[in-house]
Amino acid sequence: MSRVRTTDSVVPETAVPGNGAPLPNREPGQEAVRQQLDRILLSPAFRNSKRYSSLLKHVVERTLEGRCDPLKERTIGVEVFGRAPDYDTNVDHVVRSAAGEVRKRLAQYYQEPACADELRIDVHAGSYVPHFRFPAPKPAREALPDLQIVEKLGTGAAARPRWMTVATISIVVIAAVLATTRFLPSQTILDRFWSPVIDVRRPTLLCIGNQAPPEEAAAGHPLSVHDFQASPGQSVALSDAVTLARLTGLLQEKGKDYRVLAHWETTFTDMQGGPVILIGAWNNEWTRRMTDRLRFSMEHGSAPRQYLIRDKQNPSRTEWMVDLSVPYLEFTRDYAIVVREVDPKTEQVVITAAGISRFGTLAAGEFLTNPEHLKKLEAYAPKGWERKNLEIVLATDVVKGNSGPPTVIAVSVW
């Protein structure tokens, strides 16, 4: 095994097999560590925090350069956080606090199923020196013995002819299936609509719209808990939160694992990791990206604060329009888009619940989780819609600030 010598240490250079599994008894090389560091720094856990990214990158690079000895609290405070050489580490806990957060974010990163088999970068408690290792290989599953039922039944002096054995087994299996099927409950319309999401083993990502991410604190002034909680990135519209609660409740009822991310921290890689549910329209950039190419899409109207759902097959239609400048209690009607499709770029099922205003998003969430409302789809959708992509336009009447039940007014199936 070749080695690359650094100032004080020796770091083995190694390769990773084509299937992504580490070679046995090998340690990660410098290039593999740097590539993993880049992946981590681009992840949602780190990419929006200059403070924690700088600390992780500093300790990794110093270790790869063979300069582990200077990785002390005071040295890091000076080199990473710009503290004076004689600053009081008993009063200023910037390094300890940041290191604790780095450890927590690394743990969050490796909890993602897609990252579980990646090279590990660990910063153990009580030290600032990172450790690099490949994850322990998963034990190979012992192959189940081939039962060879037909062959075993067909041996012996008094064995039946082979065709009789096969026919007997087939009859028994068919009878068992028919007997079991009699007592299975028929699929509800919720099952039929949601099966492309529920039947996928990977967790579902719920991507919710909100404002911009929290800004980094000024140098030398850590972001307080109060400021972090008050930042725009922590604000979610009540209508979107209610819709999120409805959808997560449905997923829990179906035994489906899920996770929730804000739209600004959701990456294209996240979108490729399994089924996705998008909540919100104008405050969710992923909703706009996904729906702009579809038949029905949301657009700005000709006047300020005027918005509409445009039908690309009938672009002159403007009746699905709302004016958000009218008084709140005089607002009488809103519209929403619901989509269920396999996105051609991510190749994952995406479901969208997006209203022009808050009332439309609430109506979309109610439509997606209430079987009585989903039944309205069958009057518009053709036979076999369960296996097709769907885009639905909903309307909801609003009375004194309260939205009514959703009504289906248009459906596109492909």
* Span 98-117, pLDDT tens digits: 998 999 899 888 888 888 88
In a domain, 168, yes or no: yes
Please say whether the beta carbons of 266 and 280 come within 8 A.
Answer: no
For residues 311 and 45, which has the higher predicted lDDT (pLDDT)?
311
Contacts of 336 (CB under 8 A, 6+ apart): 353, 354, 355, 356, 360, 361, 363, 364, 367, 393, 394, 395, 396, 406
143 confidence band (pLDDT: 50, 70, 90): very low
Q: What is the mean pLDDT of residues 367-396?
A: 93
From CA 349, how far away is CA 345, in angstroms rounded? 11
pLDDT value of residue 23 = 40
Query: Is the pLDDT score of 7 beyond 60?
Result: no
Task: Give the count of beta carbons closer than 10 Å to the beta carbon of residue 55.
Answer: 22
Same domain for 329 and 361, yes or no, is yes
**Sign of the torsion angle spanned by Cα atoms 85, 91, 96, 97:** negative
Final residue before a domain boundary, out of 141, 160, 184: 184
Query: Is the pLDDT score of 206 beyond 60?
Result: yes
Same domain for 206 and 281, yes or no, is yes
392 confidence band (pLDDT: 50, 70, 90): very high
152 confidence band (pLDDT: 50, 70, 90): very low
**Mean pLDDT across the chain, nearest whole number?**
81
The domain in which residue 400 lies consists of 191-413
289 confidence band (pLDDT: 50, 70, 90): confident
What is the count of structural domains for the chain? 3
pLDDT value of residue 215 = 56
Same domain for 284 and 257, yes or no, is yes
From CA 228, how far away is CA 45, in angstroms rounded? 15
Same domain for 170 and 245, yes or no, is no
From CA 18, how far away is CA 342, in angstroms rounded? 29
Q: What is the mean pLDDT of residues 154-166?
A: 47
Beta bridge partners of 399: 402
In a domain, 146, yes or no: no
Residue 160 has φ and ψ, to the nearest 5°, of -75, 160
Same domain for 166 and 85, yes or no, is no
DSSP string, 180-230: HHHTSPPPPHHHHHHHHHHTSSSPEEEEE--SPPPPPPPTT-PPPHHHHHH
Same domain for 167 and 209, yes or no, is no
In a domain, 142, yes or no: no
Same domain for 245 and 387, yes or no, is yes
